[in-house]
Structures are given as structure tokens and as C-alpha cells.
Amino acid sequence: MAGVVLSGVTKVFPGGTRAVDAIDLSIGEGEFFSLLGPSGCGKTTTLRMVAGFEAPDAGTILVGGQDMTSLPPERRGMGMVFQNYALFPHRTVAENVAFGLKMRSVPREDQAKRVRNALAMVRLQGLEERRPSQLSGGQQQRVALARAIVIDPTVLLCDEPLGALDKKLRQAMQFELKALHRRLGLTLVYVTHDQEEALTMSDRIAVMRAGRIAQLGAPREIYDRPTSRFVADFIGDTNILEGTASGHMLHLDGWASPLPQALPPGPCAIALRPERVRLGAPGAGLVDATVEEANFLGDAVLLKLLLPGGTAILARAPRETDAALLAPGAAASLAWRAEDPVPLEAA
């Protein structure tokens, strides 16, 4: 195992685009760490600099306390799993997995043993002689994982490795990858744009925006307590309501929401998750609203309601909620606890 430390790492592409802008980051030994953000935020460029496929224009990259900034990829001792798997179509499963061992001049008898062990870890025993075209997408992904772990890497790097899989298979592979991580105890750095994937799998997450880290923390912390409008809006469904703060209340359009702490007077916004919004009979909550749409989700119903003044708000209600409150055009009251809203900067 080895920790990864980035200090002032910067990457500027031709034309002056700062893909990564002086980021500082410390990833602990054995941690499952995700870089999360929209396209173009710098997460993949950061991963490629850790791997050695891109050279930083400034800053240093340490792995296990050793400066890797100028070392080529083959001397960094890392495993890499790509989104497109990057398997050799003309080679068998066993040959694909053994490729990194051959490049490192591992003796043939050791290669065979390590390939068998790696394939057993990803549950692909018996498929050694198949070609990639004879495998399902999930099996191809497992081959790519086996090829990455067979070299006994100090760090495993994953660049959106589940992005090409359908939802059900992607979910199954999430469980498998987490279990594999626990068994191996590797430091794992994972790039994704899928918020649910990052929240589900990670020990910690760095949410990136425009080449910088917008927020760093555990999944629950980032979901429950976003520190900016960008993070609140990017991570899952959320409502952002704007008004004027006064003490423990946020005054909106003819009604008020409690705040978790007293704030100085002035413009303010709150982030409020749909599952925190409770529905009730008209007049029983903080404010009455009108149901505009109701989407059945299986375990719950996602409602879009209109507040006084026409602002829309989302509420996630249990499927057992009174049907009279879920019908389009129905009136319902909305309420939440004082600790549920997260104060944000005003727009």
C-alpha cells in the first residue's frame, strides 16, 4: 500500500487552458478515493498525471513518500483500468492478464501462477483461453481489473471503468470492485462523473470544478453538508431556495423556513434535499404548495410542487403517502426540520 500526495499540481494545455489548477491533495494508504465532477473539470487529467501519462507543469506527486513527478508510467508500480478496457482483441484472457508481467520480465512459471490467482480474484476461472470478443461487457471489465492487479500495484487507478456498462451490471460491478478493494487493501483512486457511484463506493470524495477541488470529504458529509451552490446542485437532487436571512429564519415569498443556525441579516440561499421535505394536509406545515407532477419511482414518489409565487420544489414522499396528496393539482403542506436546510451563499 502507498499513499498519494499532490502538492500544487498544475496542468496547462496548449491555448492556455488550465485543466488542473494548483491542487493539493492527500490520499491515505488503503483508501478508496474518488475524483468526481462534470466533463472538463480536470479529474481525468489529474489521474493521468498520477499515472505518469501526463506531465504536470508545476507541483509534485509523491507515492509512498517517493517523488514520482518525473518518472515514466512503467516505473511507478501502479495498475490502471481504463473506461474502454483496452484489451488486446487477438490475445486470450490469460495473455491479456499476463501482458504486464511479461513487460516486467517475470519468469514464465511465476506468470502462470499470478495470472491464475488474479483471475480467481475476479471470478474468471475457466475462461483463460477465450478472446475478448467472446466475453460479456462485465467479463471484459473483470479481465481489465485482473490485468491491473496481477502486477501487485502499490496504487490502483480507475478511469470511469464502469461507464460502458448498463445500470444493473454497473451496480453488480460496484459491489465486486468494493469487495476486491477490501481483499487487496490497495490504495484506489477512482475517476467518475456518476454521483451515485462515488457516494456508494468511496471512503472520501474530491468534487472537482474548473481544475480545482470544490469540496473534499466523506460521502455523507458532501451529500448532507455541501459547502457551495455548485456542490449542492451537482450531488443528487436538491432544492435551492433564496430569500433573506434574519436570525434563525429565512424569509421567502410570504413564508419562512427555519435555519440550523442564526445568520446575519441579508440575502441567503438554502439547499434542501427532496427526501427532507414532509408532506401533510394543507395548513399543517411551513407553507402550502400545489402538486404539479408526480413520478412513481418504485420505493417512493418524486413530486414537483409549486410554491406561492411559482417557485418549483421537489419532494420525495413514501409510496404509502395518501393518494389525495399525490394527485396533480392537489394542495399539500410542506415542512422540514430546522437542521435540514444547508445555508449557502446567495447568487
| Separation in Å, CA 2 to CA 149, 251, 253, 344 | 14, 50, 53, 36
Cα torsion angle, 174, 179, 180, 186, sign: positive
Residue 175 reports pLDDT greater than 90: no
User: Nearest Cα to 228, choosing from 34, 40, 37, 45?
Assistant: 37
Supply the DSSP symbol for 277: P
User: Nearest Cα to 270, choosing from 279, 258, 283?
Assistant: 258
Residue 91 reports pLDDT greater than 90: yes
Residue 270 reports pLDDT greater than 80: yes
Where in the chain do CATH 2.40.50.140 domains reside?
A: 237-344
What are the cell numbers at 287? 407553507
The architecture (CATH level 2) of 4-233 comes to 3-Layer(aba) Sandwich (3.40)
User: For 216-252, what is each residue's pLDDT tens digit?
Assistant: 999 999 999 999 999 999 998 999 999 999 999 999 9
Render 200-261 in DSSP notation, one character per residue.
HH-SEEEEEETTEEEEEE-HHHHHHS-SSHHHHHHSSS-EEEEEEEEEEEEE-SS-EEEEEE
> Vertex 260, ends 258 and 261: CA angle to 5°?
105
Average pLDDT of span 169-194: 88
User: What pLDDT does residue 301 have?
Assistant: 95
d(CA 317, CA 293): 13
- Single pTM value for the model: 0.90
Average pLDDT of span 126-131: 92
> Vertex 316, ends 313 and 319: CA angle to 5°?
140
The architecture (CATH level 2) of 237-344 comes to Beta Barrel (2.40)
User: What pLDDT does residue 347 have?
Assistant: 62
